[in-house]
Amino acid sequence: MRETIGVIGLGYIGLPLAMCLCERGFRVVGIDVDEDKVADIQAGRTDVQEDYLGQTLSQMLQRHIAEGNFVASSRPAVAAWECTTYFVTVGIPVHPETKSLNQQPLLDAMRSLGRVIKPHDLVIIRSTVVPGTVESHCVPLLEETSRMVAGVDFHVAYAAERVAEGRAMEEFQTLDIVAGGLTVRCAALAAQALQKLTDGQVHITDMRVAQLSKVIENAQRDVSLALVYELQEVAKSHHVNLYELIQMVNTHPRVNLLWPSVGVGGYCIPNAYHYLSASLQAERTDLPLFRLARQSNESVPRRIAQGVAESLHQSGRQMATAVVAVLGLGMKDGSNDIRQSPAIRCVEEFRSLGAMVRAYDPFVSPAEPYQVSTVEECLRDADAIVVGAWHNAFDELDWGELFRLVNQAAPVILVDPRGRLEARVLHLNPAPVLQRA
């Protein structure tokens, strides 16, 4: 009889993880407190964008439901009937304004799971957490509600996911995993379970090291991206193309500058500093490098809006009468995840300066008044174009025809950090008259 695994949390990480386990031959019971989400998943519907071996996540979901490999519920007790291993993917949101951490969803998941786990069950927490959370909050709640002793009656381990949205199906099954157990036995059992998921190596370490390593992975990228956005100012001062500058610098074998976008978004990287800082509050330790990197990255959308305003002014126009077209609203290329999306932050900055903003994203459901349903409507009479997030669907568009719709009275101000749109229009005859912001 095949093994059944429970996945707690069916969001951008949990649902792809569940499908990976199904692909690996497991039966999976997925649990989520959002009953509307569960109803959609039960019907084979999801907005999460992932592709694997020529299939969308929705297609995989429908297939595994039909084959009896996957079932979703809002009740953890449903999983308890057949599961002995649980993967928890419930995160810790950070408030976008106050930067306060909300650990309640994860703690609620621990309470609910503690009520149904059985002796000898294994709980592997895969969420990114404030380092120390597993020992100080998760384990006590599991023990309190289960009335068992962790590490003796049941087992607890931590092994954060490291995947990138859009590549999760592949990376869950190929990346190395860093895992820590509450006891040596907990760690060994977790390694056995995780090795069934990935062809990569499972690295066993201390529980606290495992929690810290995931946060620092994200914080390192935050610092690296802050460096790139500082280089934007250098490139602008020297009147050179930042994209080309990075390409040349990266020819050195020991240099690997990241590629810029319109800011740093998503659920992981922007939260890393706040998780790390919260774990040190009792020690009153400051982290100036990480803090400054976070502040710098948060200011990118504002700097972009100000740069467009300056470029418009140079050509005799004002932001208050300008039309700004934003292509793509996801937090990164190819994503419809708009959590902490820098593209949306750009929209807000432009609107605060009085611009008329139209945004088009074929994969983000219209929810805001500035969203339009066609790329033609987005670009019509545009004075400036901002590439917020690039989708493969944009590659198929006839940019020659589309650029006939923009304002022809003055150069189009272009914010295109990675040069995707620029590369597709410069060869046109006649080529559009562009000015980089």
- Would you state the structure tokens that stand for residue 10, as one six-digit string? 């069916």
The three-state secondary structure class of 325 is: strand
Separation CA 399–CA 401 (nearest Å): 5
Q: What is the pLDDT along the chain (437 residues), one digit of tens a residue?
A: 689 999 999 999 999 999 999 999 999 999 999 999 999 999 999 999 898 999 999 999 999 999 999 999 999 999 999 999 999 999 999 988 888 999 999 999 999 999 999 999 999 999 999 999 999 999 999 999 999 999 999 999 999 999 998 899 999 999 999 999 999 999 999 999 999 999 999 999 999 999 999 999 999 999 999 999 999 889 989 999 898 999 999 999 999 999 999 999 988 999 999 999 999 866 667 899 999 999 999 999 999 999 999 999 998 999 999 999 999 999 999 999 999 999 999 999 999 999 999 999 999 998 899 999 999 999 999 999 999 999 999 999 999 999 999 999 899 999 999 999 998 988 888 888 888 88
Specify the pLDDT at position 2. 85
Separation CA 138–CA 395 (nearest Å): 46
Separation CA 130–CA 103 (nearest Å): 9
Domain annotation for the chain: domains and CATH numbers:
4-205 (3.40.50.720), 228-436 (3.40.50.720)
Separation CA 260–CA 271 (nearest Å): 19
Specify the pLDDT at position 283. 62
Q: 180 forms bridges with which residues in the sheet?
A: 158, 205
Question: In 159-272, which ranges are E strands?
Answer: 177-181, 202-205
With beta carbons less than 8 A apart as the criterion, state whether 421 and 327 touch: yes
* Residue with the two structure tokens 């408030």: 95
The verdict on pTM exceeding 0.75 is yes
Q: CB atoms < 10 A from the CB of 120, how many? A: 11
Residues 6+ apart with CB under 8 A from 238: none
Separation CA 44–CA 47 (nearest Å): 10
Separation CA 372–CA 40 (nearest Å): 25
**DSSP string over 46-108:** -----EETTEEHHHHHHHHHHTTSEEEES-HHHHHTT-SEEEE-----B-TTT--B--HHHHH
Q: Classify residue 134 as left (phi > 0), alpha (psi -120 to 50) or beta.
A: alpha
